[in-house]
Structure 1
């Protein structure tokens, strides 16, 4: 086996798949006026509102240099508010606005639509997600 052959790499199909999946998300998220990274932040906040920037970054594996401008754009869109912690001004809390909460309803069909685009059964989607989570956990030492 030629270890340097593109066909034998694990990284390339993961990279290409990530790009393809993100491309399939794009038209769905354009209807919500969200980018894919903004959508990920909104998913977290719809699960648990009022989180510190550091917790969001930890969960999404994003550094503050990437996350801060993204959160500022969500604030400009009126979807979140950012509040400095009075006890520790280095900590910034992110909370959904009423508009951000309302967007949850509009976004409810996005996962199902993506699954249809990918032509995956429920079980295939679950199996794929579980394999990817296992690999990600191994790489991030969780």
Structure 2
């Protein structure tokens, strides 16, 4: 699994002009799932995201997690994170999991994040044409690959 984690002051996702999810201060997370991902990836990545200290403390040092600042999380599925650009100019998405594999893992990931985070998160809709808006705070953007955990 690959996650692009952005510290935001606000973020939202619209589907067909309707707001599906929105948050104030917190994290907007883009999530890419591949066939090789499993429960271990879900658990590790969820804990990493919910505990990552990328929010400022009183001394303006990034020393607090999204939980510490009582922030929110908006999670968006994005298969294009697994694009291969090695050959030619048209990305290949061969590594991205097909919906029959990805959707159950995406739902398990949402449940795991909510369990680790201790509250409901906002989400987009798997496979939908989504319009994502955000104000990146900092800017702070972190890329995490669960395959790099060891």
Structure 1 and Structure 2 fold alike (TM over 0.5): no
Greater relative contact order: 1 or 2 (C-alpha under 8 angstroms, separation 6 or more)? 2
TM-score, normalising length from structure 1? 0.29
TM-score, normalising length from structure 2? 0.28
- Which of the pair is proportionally richer in helix? 1
- Which of the pair is proportionally richer in strand? 2
Structure possessing the higher radius of gyration over alpha carbons: 1
